[in-house]
A and B are shown apart, each in its own frame.
Chain A
Amino acid sequence: MTTPVKNPETQVKRPDESLFKRLTRQQLFIPVAALILLVLFNLIADPSFFAISVKENSLGNPVLSGNIISVLDNASELVILAIGMTLVTASSGGQDISVGATMAIAGSVILRMVCGNEVSANTMHMPLILAVLIGILVSMVFGAFNGTLVAYFKIQPMVATLIMFTAGRSIAAWINNNQLPIMNDITFKYAGTFLPGIPIPTPVFITALVILIFWLVLKFTTLGLYTQSVGINANSSRLNGLDPKLIKLLTYVILGVCVAIAGFIRVSRSGSINYSRIAENIEMDAILAVALGGNALSGGKFNIYGSILGAYVIQFLTTTLYKYDVPSTALPAYKAVVVILLVVLSAPVVREKLASMKKAPAKAAKEVS
């Protein structure tokens, strides 16, 4: 029963430091600042961005509609992936680039289960919960495959997961005999759209539930502590009685669960799948979310709330760009700008420069007073 170690820097208050510097030291500074910037931009450019209205959907249910709802809704898969990706990053010091492809596999398995052998099924052939559980199980197996390569064969995570990145979508297609199954049963789509009578998109609830579960797990188990210590120094963790290999493997299996849930949300949005396009490039966004959350991509200390916030920032950015009719092909370029800024800001050289720049005026001000 150990709570995760908090960033010690945030707890020690040094009286001689300016407020600005204390703020910038906070791990959540970058994602919060980015979010505030985006909100301010939208407030100034067009406040109607934040308008939320109640509409009636085609089934006659009242539903909330607006950009903010869209952000919360569309970020769901990314947030769930970012949580798992944070753990993997922290424990193994590398990222899983196969999450998009394994999402295709999980989605394909779930559709195969509920559709049976039909290409276009009107009723579910199996209780949905069972199909999802099978999808999670399969996804955990693929997570374990990645984790084994990383933990026991000591292959670079990016190289190890390149295998599933390359093969995953072909496997997903093979699971359904290269057909594109369609599930027409409306109850299948509840998880990706709206539950009857509830005006908030279901993915928002699923995401909240996942966040809650991880909060509880990190609060009441040693997973967070162990993951951090393995990421910081695997050898000394081993000397202290931990099994670094097992913990690395475990984080990949947990990511597998996250991937399956994200895949389920994605396929239930439309009741269908397109193997080569589903969740394309989502791995890059998930990694970006982790970085945006102020987590070191080389592993060690982590903060899943930073990654969650990072994921929402990315979706906020995407939605903002769509609102201003930026071509969807240009979106990666804007994300690249964010990455460049992040990398530059987090470079030690720049950090030192910034710190000394802030120190000088603060000192001068003190002398004057």
Chain B
Amino acid sequence: MKKIFALALAAAMSLSLAACGGNNNTPAASSTPAAGSTPAASTPAAPSAGELITVGVINNDPNESGYRTANDAAMRATFTEENGYKTTFYNNNDAAQQIATAQQMVQDEVDFLLLSPASTTGWDTVLKDAQAAGTQVILFDRMLEADESMYVAAVVSDMPAEGKTAVDWLAAQGLDEYNIIHIQGHMGSDAQLGRTGALDEKVAAEANWNYVTQQTADWDEATARTITQSVIDSGKPFNVIYAENNGMARGAAAALDAAGITHGKDGDVIVMGFDSDKWAFEEVLAGRWNYMGLCNPLQAETVDSIIKDLAAGKEPAQKIIYTPEQGFDCNTLTQADVDTYGT
């Protein structure tokens, strides 16, 4: 008897867990439409006036980084009921989970599927199914590997360009030798591929550009600190830290501080980060870091206007819209920039 009771409890527990797993990122207001009650769902491209546009948003984990927090908050603030949307949000850094949920959303016949893919590959089936179901796919923030015909629009950061801007800036510093600690983001993500690609090319091409180490810290500050610390402990000389986001740059800088290695303006080591965090801008402004590549997290409004246009029957003028971005140098950054771009 006891055993049966325990078993039943365990079953109940795991069921409730399964429920947790599926829904913990889904706000209450966002349940999918009940079958039969929404005949308009069969003609998703042209929802009649006054009716809410159903949208499925697949994003990464908002706690992953300051960039993602800002990005997710903007999406949630834009795609609200007051703004004419019935939205389901899903956040996960695992591409497989994202794909499974996207599949579900397509089956639920959302009008628009907004995607920020955790990895650039593996989306073919979902995109095909979406096309067959009449769901229009819009990419935001990150690209994926697919034919342009598979999505109606993409509002993304140009990651390869971000990487190139940063590497060009670094080359312009005119060091005799570049001994680089390269701390990578989550392997396979668009941001990592773009930012790594430009640097890899340069290191391969130039004789005086070397990697001291090239490691992924998976966007994690603590891992970045450990990696940097181990290079310091090994006694290998280095003069550049190229971290693919701000959190990791901060972790690396903490390791430098602990070992008394100067960095930033007039320092021994050049520190470079990416994204848009206000605190990171302040690090650059104070001269503790040398460079930050801006990656604009606020695509929500652009996506919003594209959807409104599409609903009104207007195709977007451009298929791929790159968010305006630039690199900031500690010598030229101003407080005004911090206030404008910091999130």
Chain A residues with CB under 8 Å of chain B are 48, 51, 55-59, 63, 65-67, 70, 74, 120, 153-156, 159-160, 162-163, 166-167, 169-170, 173, 178-180, 182, 193-194, 266, 269-270, 272, 274-280, 318-319, 322-323, 325, 327-329
Contacts and interface: CB of A to CB of B under 8 A. Distances in A.
B278 A163 contact: no
Nearest to B267: A58
14 contacts: A55-B260, A63-B259, A65-B232, A67-B234, A154-B6, A167-B24, A173-B62, A178-B63, A266-B222, A272-B247, A274-B64, A322-B226, A327-B215, A328-B227
A345 to B, nearest CB: 29
Interface string B83-101: 0000000000100000000
Contacts of A162: 17
Nearest to A154: B6
Contacts, number: 134
Contacts of B256: 58
B294 interface: no
B51 interface: no
Interface string B218-233: 1111110111011011
A57 B187 CA distance: 32
A55 B268 CA distance: 15
Contacts of A67: 230, 233-234
Nearest to A163: B17
Interface stretch (B65-73, B105-113, B121-129): B65-73
B49 interface: no
Contacts of A155: 6, 9-10, 13
Contacts of B25: 170
A169 B63 CA distance: 9
Nearest to A55: B260
B36 interface: no
Given A59-B257, A328-B215, 15 more contacts: A57-B258, A67-B234, A74-B226, A74-B229, A154-B9, A155-B9, A163-B17, A166-B24, A178-B69, A179-B69, A274-B247, A276-B93, A323-B230, A323-B233, A329-B216
Contact of B230 (A178, A180, A269, A319): A319
B14 interface: yes
B61 interface: yes
Contacts of A275: 63
B9 A153 contact: yes
A70 B233 contact: yes
B307 to A, nearest CB: 25
A163 B251 CA distance: 30
Most chain A Cβ neighbours within 10 Å, of B61, B216, B225, B251? B61
Contacts of B14: 159
Given A156-B10, A327-B216, A173 B63 contact: yes
Contacts of B259: 55, 57, 63, 65
B217 interface: yes
A153 to B, nearest CB: 6
B124 to A, nearest CB: 25
B contact residues, range: 35 or more
Interface in B252-284: 254, 256-260, 262, 278-279
Nearest to A275: B63
A270 B17 contact: no
A180 B13 contact: no
User: Which 4 A-B residue pairs are closest in the complex by CB-CB distance?
Assistant: A275-B63, A322-B230, A58-B257, A276-B63
A198 B174 CA distance: 39
B15 to A, nearest CB: 12
Interface of B: 6, 9-10, 13-14, 17, 20-21, 24-25, 61-66, 69, 73, 93, 187, 213, 215-223, 225-227, 229-230, 232-235, 247, 250-251, 254, 256-260, 262, 278-279
Nearest to A63: B258
A170 B257 contact: no
Contacts of B187: 329
Contacts of A280: 220
Contacts of A266: 222
Contacts of A180: 63, 65-66, 69
Contacts of A322: 215, 226-227, 230
B242 to A, nearest CB: 16
Contacts of A278: 222
B93 A182 contact: no
B216 to A, nearest CB: 6
A225 to B, nearest CB: 28
Contacts of B20: 163, 166-167
A160 B148 CA distance: 47
A63 B254 CA distance: 14
A58 B93 contact: no
B64 to A, nearest CB: 5
B176 to A, nearest CB: 24
A155 to B, nearest CB: 6
A58 B260 contact: yes
A280 B9 CA distance: 29
Given A55-B259, A167-B20, A182 B279 contact: yes
A154 B10 CA distance: 9
B216 A277 contact: no
B215 to A, nearest CB: 5
A163 B247 contact: no
A356 B6 CA distance: 42
Contacts of B229: 70, 74
A153 B12 CA distance: 12
A128 to B, nearest CB: 19
A169 B62 CA distance: 11
Contact of A58 (B62, B225, B262, B279): B262
B221 A277 contact: yes
